[in-house]
Amino acid sequence: MIVTTTNDVPGKEITQVLGIVHGIVVRTPTIAQGFLGNIKNIFGGHNQAFTDMCEQTREHAYQNMIAQAQAMGANAIVAMRYDSDSVGGDQTRANEVFCYGTAVIVR
């Protein structure tokens, strides 16, 4: 599967546009990640536990988007983008990642 942030695939011709595809994942930190994250908040600095959680969430959303495109018969996704947000309140802090693009067939 070719995935690109550009509107075309260099060296390829888009022969069919199949539609919008997306992947969305909302993930909350584990108790351990939350505890370590709160300690980091006191002292400041890089929070590796939350960084890892965000990266895993991003990859999961990306793979969900690819699976949706494959189910449509696409062999490429163009104009791929990410969006993310924090959802929930202080007690249910969660990271949402939305990944989207246009499923196409290229040759």
Asked if the structure places residue 61 within a domain, the reply is yes
Asked if the structure places residue 63 within a domain, the reply is yes
Higher pLDDT, 45 or 51: 51
Asked if the structure places residue 74 within a domain, the reply is yes
Judge whether 72 and 103 are in contact, CB under 8 Å.
yes
The residue range of the domain holding 37 is 2-81+91-106
- Rounded Cα–Cα distance for residues 31 and 36 (Å): 9
Least confident segment among 12-16, 51-55, 71-75, 103-107: 51-55
Asked if the structure places residue 86 within a domain, the reply is no
Share the mean pLDDT of the chain.
90
Flag whether pLDDT at 89 surpasses 80.
no
Tally of domains within the chain: 1
Q: What average pLDDT does this structure show over 44-60? A: 86
Asked if the structure places residue 67 within a domain, the reply is yes
Both tokens of 57, joined, read 């969430």
Asked if the structure places residue 35 within a domain, the reply is yes
Flag whether pLDDT at 41 surpasses 90.
no
- Rounded Cα–Cα distance for residues 4 and 8 (Å): 8
Asked if the structure places residue 18 within a domain, the reply is yes
Residue 101: give its domain's CATH number. 3.30.110.70
Alpha helix positions (H), the chain = 31-43, 48-72
Provide the β-strand partners of residue 77.
3, 103
Flag whether pLDDT at 40 surpasses 70.
no
Q: What average pLDDT does this structure show over 77-99? A: 89
Model confidence band, residue 37 (pLDDT cutoffs 50, 70, 90): low
